[in-house]
A and B are shown apart, each in its own frame.
Chain A
Amino acid sequence: MPTTDHTLDQILDLAAAHFKVPREKLSADDDFFKTLGIDSLQALDLLTRLEHHFRIDLPDYELQGVSDFRTLANRIQARL
C-alpha cells in the first residue's frame, strides 16, 4: 500500500492538473479553497477525479470540514 506521503503527492499532482495550476504552487497544508480559488462544488469535482485515480468510493461527506490536502490525504489513505 502506498504511504500517506505518496498519496498526498498524487493528490497534489492531480489537483494541479485538474485546476490547471503549477504543481509547485501547491503544498500539503494549503487551504485548497483559497490556493485554488475554488468553491465547495468545484472541490467535489476534484473528489471524483481522486476516486477514479485511487479506485475507491469517496462519499461527499468525506470532504466535509476538510480544507487542506493533508487531511484529505489521510481520509483517502484510510479507504485504500
Chain B
Amino acid sequence: MLDLRQYASLGAALKDALERWPNETCLIEADRDREKVRLTYSDFKEMARPLCRALEDADLKAGDRAAIIMTNQSKWLISAYSIFFCGGVLVPLDYKLTAAEHLQLLAHSKARFLVVEYYLWRAITQSPEFAKLTVEIVLVTEAPAGADLRGAYRWEEFKRKGEPQFVARQREDTACIVYSSGTGGRPKGCVLTHDSYLEQCTSLTAWYPFWPGVRYLSILPTNHAIDFMVGFIGPFVCGACVVHLRTLRPEFVRDAFVRYRITYVGLVPMVLKNLERGLRAKFDELKPRKRWVLDRLIGLNKMLTQGRPRVELSRRLLPQVHKAFGGELLALIVGGAFTDPSTLQFFYDLGIPVTCGYGLTEACTAVTLNDLKPFRADTVGKPLPGAEVRVLNPDGDGIGEVAVRSRAVMSHYLDDPEQTSQTIVEGWLLTGDLGRFDVDGRGHLQLVGRKKNMIVTEGGKNIYPEDIEAVFDGLPAKEYCVFAANYLWPQKTLGSEMLVLVVRLERNQQFDSRLREEMVARNRRLGDFKRVGGYLMWEKDFPRTASLKIKREELAAEIGASAVRAGVVEI
C-alpha cells in the first residue's frame, strides 16, 4: 500500500494510487447478473480527467463543497475523486433520504455542486421545496434521452479536454462533511479533515490489509462512513478492487460473492442476518443424514478454530458453505449497529471470520474492532491503533459513557458550536454510548446501552426522535413527544431499540379510534426505518421552559420513574 504518512490529502494519495497500479482492476460494477463496468486504475484516471477539467472550468475552487447523492456505482467514486483532485470538500448524502431532506442538507452544507442520479434528481425537482435549491451546478447521471433536467447538466457530457491542474490541500483542511443524521431540527454535519481519513485508513489497514487482487464487495451505501473508508479509500490506496452492485437483492448479493470471489465485505447487522436466514433455510432443507454430518463438521470446525481463525482448514472441512461465499472470503466486517452475538457466532462456527466493530461518523469510521485473536462475539473489539478510549464515570459494574480521543475524530459539527462543545469536551469525543471494558483485561470494549435519546437501526441509521416529531404536528391531542424507549427505561443491553410516542390528551378528551388512526397514518409517512413502534398515554402536562420548549430530559425522567415499558401500546 501507499505510505500514507507521506501524503497531505486524500486527493494526493488517490492520485498516486492511480499512477502506482495502472493495470490492476480497481472497480467492477454489476447490475444483477450483468457486468456493466470494469475499470483498471488507468481507466479510472482517464474517466476522471475530463470531469476534473470541467469542474476546474466551472470554477470549483479549493474548499468549495460538492455533494453526491447516488447509489453505489462507479460514477460515485469517479466524481468523489475528481472533487478531491480539484481541492473540493465532499458532502456525501444518504440517497435514501426524501427529496425535502436532500434539499435541507444541501442548503445546510452550502454545497455549490451536486452530482446526483437521475431518478433521485427527478424526485428533488418534483419536491414543493425545489425552488429553495441552493446548489449552483448539478450533474445528473444516467438521464434518459430527452429528459427535462431542469437546468442540470448530464454527467456524461460534463467534460473538457486537456490536463487538469491538481489542487493541493493540507492535512488540517476539511475533506468531507458527513451528516450523522439529524435531518429534522438540527442537521449534524461532521467536519472531517484529510488527516482524520488518512489516519483512520492507516490504522484500519494495519489490522485488515488490502493488496492488489483483493476484492471488496461494496453493498453498504458509499455515503456511509464504513463503506467510504473500506469500500473506497482503503482499497484504492492499496491497489485493490471494489465491486459495486446496482441492486441489493439478496439473491444477487449472494451471486456476487461467488462470481467475483470476494475477499472482504462490510455489512450492517440487517444484511448479516439476511445471509444467516438464507443459510439456515438451506441447512434445514438437508436430509437428516446430511444434516447430521454437517452439524458434526461444524462442531469440529468450532473446536479447531477456537483460538484463531484457520480459514484454509475451514474451507476444507465445510467446502459447500465456503463455496457459497466464493471460496476466498477472508472476513465479514460488521458494524454500524448492534449485532446479535449469536449471529456472529453462527458465521464464525462455519469458519467464516466475522469481525464486529464500533464506530460513529463523528470518529470518521471505526473506534474499536475485533482482531480475531481470538474471536469474540460479545465485544466490539479493541481500540484501533491511534485511538484512545475511556469509560467516563464508571459505576459499580464499570459501566459509563464511552469517550474517544484520536486524530480521526471530527474537528466540529458544521456551523454548530453549541452541539460541538457538548460533544467534544477537552479533546474527548463523548459518544453517548454506554460501555465497559471487559473484565479479562485484554482491552475489549462491550457496549451496553445508550445515554442519549436516539436509536440506531439494524441498517446502521441513527434516528433522533426530535427529528421525526414534525410528522405528528396537528395530532388531535394536547401535546406529544417522541423518545427512544431505551432512553426512558435504560437497560443494560443493546438491541430491541424502538421509538415511543408519548401523548397527553386534552382535558375531558377520550382516547378513541380516530386518534389512533391518525397516529398510524402519520407514522406511515415516515421512512420505514424511522417509524415509531408504540405509544404511551401520559396523564400530566409536559414540563416546559419559559419559551415553552418541552424539557425533554425532565419529562423522560418522570416517565421513566412512573410508567413502565410494558405500558407502551404497539402502533
Task: Enumerate chain A interface residues (CB-CB to B < 8 A).
Answer: 31, 33, 39-42, 44-45, 47-48, 59-61, 64-65, 67-68
**A65, B527: Cβ atoms closer than 8 Å:** yes
Asked if B161 CB lies within 8 Å of chain A CBs, one says: no
| Contact flags B549-565 to A (C-beta < 8 A → 1, else 0) | 00000000000000000
Stretch of B242-250, B283-291, B309-317 lying at the A interface = B242-250
**A45, B251: Cβ atoms closer than 8 Å:** yes
Assuming the contacts A61-B119, A64-B96, asked whether A40 and B528 have C-beta atoms less than 8 A apart, the reply is: yes
A30 and B273 alpha carbons, distance in the complex (Å): 24
Assuming the contacts A31-B524, A67-B528, asked whether A44 and B250 have C-beta atoms less than 8 A apart, the reply is: yes
Which residue of the partner chain A has the closest CB to B533? Answer: A34
**Ranked 8 nearest A-B pairs via Cβ:** A41-B274, A44-B249, A33-B528, A67-B528, A60-B247, A61-B119, A39-B270, A41-B250
- Chain A min CB distance to B380 (Å): 22
Which residues does chain B contribute within 8 Å of A61, judged by CB atoms? 71, 119-120
Asked if B98 CB lies within 8 Å of chain A CBs, one says: yes
* Chain B contacts with A in 506-525, Cβ cutoff 8 A: 524
**A68, B524: Cβ atoms closer than 8 Å:** yes
Which residues does chain A contribute within 8 Å of B119, judged by CB atoms? 59, 61
Task: Enumerate chain B interface residues (CB-CB to A < 8 A).
Answer: 71, 96, 98, 119-120, 246-251, 270-271, 273-274, 458-459, 524, 527-529
Assuming the contacts A33-B528, A61-B119, A67-B528, asked whether A39 and B249 have C-beta atoms less than 8 A apart, the reply is: no
- Chain A min CB distance to B497 (Å): 14
Indicate the member of B96, B119, B247, B528 with the most A CB atoms within 10 Å. B528
A44 and B459 alpha carbons, distance in the complex (Å): 14
Which residues does chain B contribute within 8 Å of A64, judged by CB atoms? 96
**A41, B271: Cβ atoms closer than 8 Å:** yes
Q: List 23 A-B contacts (CB under 8 A).
A: A31-B524, A31-B528, A33-B528, A39-B270, A39-B273, A39-B274, A40-B459, A40-B529, A41-B248, A41-B271, A41-B274, A42-B274, A44-B247, A45-B250, A47-B249, A59-B247, A60-B247, A60-B248, A61-B71, A61-B119, A64-B96, A65-B527, A68-B524
A61 and B71 alpha carbons, distance in the complex (Å): 10
A59 and B271 alpha carbons, distance in the complex (Å): 19
- Chain A min CB distance to B483 (Å): 20
A75 and B524 alpha carbons, distance in the complex (Å): 18
**B249, A67: Cβ atoms closer than 8 Å:** no
A50 and B299 alpha carbons, distance in the complex (Å): 40
A67 and B274 alpha carbons, distance in the complex (Å): 19
Which residues does chain B contribute within 8 Å of A40, judged by CB atoms? 270, 459, 528-529
Assuming the contacts A39-B274, A40-B459, A65-B98, asked whether A48 and B527 have C-beta atoms less than 8 A apart, the reply is: no
- Chain B min CB distance to A68 (Å): 7
A51 and B247 alpha carbons, distance in the complex (Å): 14
